[in-house]
Amino acid sequence: MGVAELVDAVGSGPAGRKSREGSNPSPHNKKMIKEPLKIIPLGGLEEIGRNMTLFEYKGKILILDMGLMFPDDTMPGVDFIISNTQYLKGKEKDIVGVVLTHGHYDHIGAIPYIIGKIGNPPIFATPLTKGIVEKRQKDFPQSSPLRIQEIKREDELVLNPFKIKTIPLNHNIPDNVGVFIETPIGTIFHTGDFKIDFTPVGDEPANLSKIAKIASKGVLLLMSDSTNAEEKGHSLSEKEIMENLEFIFKNAKGRIIATTFASLISRIQELIILAEKYGRKILVEGYTMRSNFEISWKLGKIKVNSESVITPRELKKLPDDKVLIICTGSQGEGDAVLMRLAHKDHPYLKVKNGDTIIMSSSTVPGNERAVQELKDLLSWQGAKIYHSKIMDIHASGHANQEELKTMIRLVAPKFFMPIHGSHYMLECHKEIALNVGIPEKNIIVAGNGDLIELYENEFKIHHKKVPAHYVMVDGLGIGDVGEVVLRDRQVMAKDGMFVIVVVVDSHTGKVKQSPDIISRGFVYLRESQKLLYETRKRTVRLVERIIRSKHPINWSYVKSRIREELGEFLYERTKRRPMVLPVIIEV
């Protein structure tokens, strides 16, 4: 049955809801229920990443996903950003479980940082997702063992008062699911990340008729992926991508070096199929790439002949036209394989004149400069580079506008809530829903930390938000880098640091010697002697004047005045504002 027939079967837009309008869509109770379902997004709205949503009914809490977000260039030194779980403090025993939609880090990456703080509730995940979570957990040996239970892609479980039905949906990683959540007030359908691909590679097409069948019993709320809500038409099928990749394999004379996201298992499978078809042996390089490859191979999510996979030692014995190297580094990351190749510092691989490099990924916003540098360095070494702007060798794993319309029509919900995207993306998805026939009063455009109360016939968004600000992970520190620390790092990254050390005689109140100055990222000391002389002179006058007028001496006040006056003076002379750090030593 095609999409058109499915839509006709369940109805399109408002017409598909006429028989249910005003009725109770819940199979649990025919009476009006006053107790609302609370929906609290702790991440994933107003941003890409950090996906984590709470569903709460009469104090019992279900968590869907627990992802991280990568920092942008305004967050120097920060490794990851995770959700704030302050709302769950004291409610640990009321968490009935964590259900994961798929194995991408923006949906599972925060588990090692959060799960122990919320009482280590049970986690439910499909086989590949479970494997990736368990592998990642090994990097955190100090953490408690996870209580993780494997579920099938099409499965049912009861986490009272919630009944969960998982349903297979296509993305660009196997074992991806959407989630039906039956609650006492009605059924919620959360799509997770999805696209509608009738010709996927390494996966079965989504069973849209099954989704329509479940939804025909009544869906109170559809929560749908908004990542590609700006993009018109349909997303590219993985079959089209594979056909374009095959053109490259047919024409490549030397080695092929392919990079993509390490989590994009379907693309890795396509590269393997083509390598085996054209007689190339496969070397997998990069820690995360190798980990995901091994987990997927072990679970049968990647299919490859064992003799096709080679070690670095075997690589040296093969002619160039018999080699495929799959590696990390599609975003120009400094420590990833491809950038190390570009900088000629990989331990045993070097780019050769005649190599073909496939960059099968989109450039994440903010990484444009690093990716351009990567292309330049590789092309200087004689490599021929293919990327998604030259030909269609990358497809998003997210639904475009026509697929989003299809999902709304299939599910025919009473209420609609766009999720997974910046505010603009959510608004674009809202427009799609309006065009399909969802009334504006039934569309919930929310933000992180909003407390949404959903009833059978209405919803309310509380004016008071739940804490949902960024929690930053920096090395072993979780949450100890706050706005103040980040602001200091931004200042130092922008205009540098200026340290002035003043030695004061505690008996006379005089500055004993010319203050020492340390400058990092502000001015080159040898070429700024006049500025430094004036700074020292001004500092000595300021300190001695304050000491004469203040008894007893408040050294914190003295430092504060030095910071203020030197800051203004340095800005006046240089139009830059370094971080001024006064150090006073009494002798």
How far apart CA 52 and CA 67 sit, in angstroms, is: 6
Q: 352 by DSSP, 3-state: which?
A: coil
List the beta strands (DSSP E) in 420-525: 452-454, 459-461, 471-474, 477-481, 497-504, 516-520
For residue 418, the surrounding DSSP H or E stretch is strand 415-419
Task: Tell me 321's DSSP state.
Answer: G
Q: What are phi and psi of 180, to 5 degrees?
A: -90, 130
Tell me the two tokens of residue 450: 């909003």
The whole-number pLDDT of residue 487 equals 61
Tell me the two tokens of residue 330: 């599609």
The whole-number pLDDT of residue 574 equals 83
The whole-number pLDDT of residue 75 equals 60
The whole-number pLDDT of residue 63 equals 98
**Torsion angle, CA of 37/40/41/42, rounded to 10 degrees?**
-150
Tell me the two tokens of residue 62: 């279900």
The whole-number pLDDT of residue 330 equals 86
The whole-number pLDDT of residue 361 equals 87
Give the CATH superfamily of 238-387.
Metallo-hydrolase/oxidoreductase (3.40.50.10710)
Q: Would you say 566 and 500 are in contact if contact means Cβ atoms under 8 Å apart? A: yes
Q: Would you say 360 and 248 are in contact if contact means Cβ atoms under 8 Å apart? A: no
For residue 54, the surrounding DSSP H or E stretch is strand 52-57
Residue appearing with tokens 């028989």: 19
Q: What are phi and psi of 218, to 5 degrees?
A: 115, 120
Residue environment code for 20-43, b if the CB has 16+ CB neighbours within 10 A, otherwise e: beeebbbeeeeeebeebbbbbbbb
Tell me the two tokens of residue 50: 């950090």
**Torsion angle, CA of 8/11/158/114, rounded to 10 degrees?**
100
Among 294, 284, 329, smallest CA distance to 134 is for 294
The whole-number pLDDT of residue 251 equals 92
Domains 3-233+396-473 and 482-586 share a fold: no
For residue 183, the surrounding DSSP H or E stretch is strand 177-183
> Has domain 482-586 been given CATH number 3.40.640.10?
no
The whole-number pLDDT of residue 77 equals 61
Burial class (CB in 10 A: 0-12, 13-18, 19+), 230: middle
Task: Tell me 176's DSSP state.
Answer: -
The whole-number pLDDT of residue 393 equals 84
In this prediction, the residues of the chain whose per-residue pLDDT falls under 70 are 1-33, 72-78, 365-366, 474-493, 524-525, 527, 550-551
The whole-number pLDDT of residue 335 equals 83
338 Cβ contact list (under 8 Å, min separation 6):
257, 259, 327, 328, 329, 330, 332, 357, 374, 378
CATH number belonging to the domain at 3-233+396-473, selected among 3.60.15.10, 3.30.360.10, 3.40.50.300, 3.40.50.720: 3.60.15.10
Tell me the two tokens of residue 277: 């078809």
Q: What are phi and psi of 440, to 5 degrees?
A: -60, -35
Q: 583 by DSSP, 3-state: which?
A: strand
Tell me the two tokens of residue 172: 């660009």
3-state helix, strand, coil split of the chain in percent (to 5) is: 35, 25, 40
Q: What are phi and psi of 38, to 5 degrees?
A: -95, 130
Angle at 428 between CA 226 and CA 465, to 5 degrees: 70
Strands of 497-504's sheet, edge to edge?
A: 516-520, 497-504, 579-586
In the 3-class helix/strand/coil scheme, how is 229-297 assigned residue by residue? CCCCCCCCCHHHHHHHHHHHHHHCCCCEEEECCCCCHHHHHHHHHHHHHCCCEEEEECHHHHHHHHHHH
The pTM (predicted TM-score) of the whole model is 0.79
Domains in the chain: boundaries? 3-233+396-473, 238-387, 482-586
**CA distances, 570 to each of 31, 498, 567 (Å):** 71, 10, 5
Strand partners, 47: 421
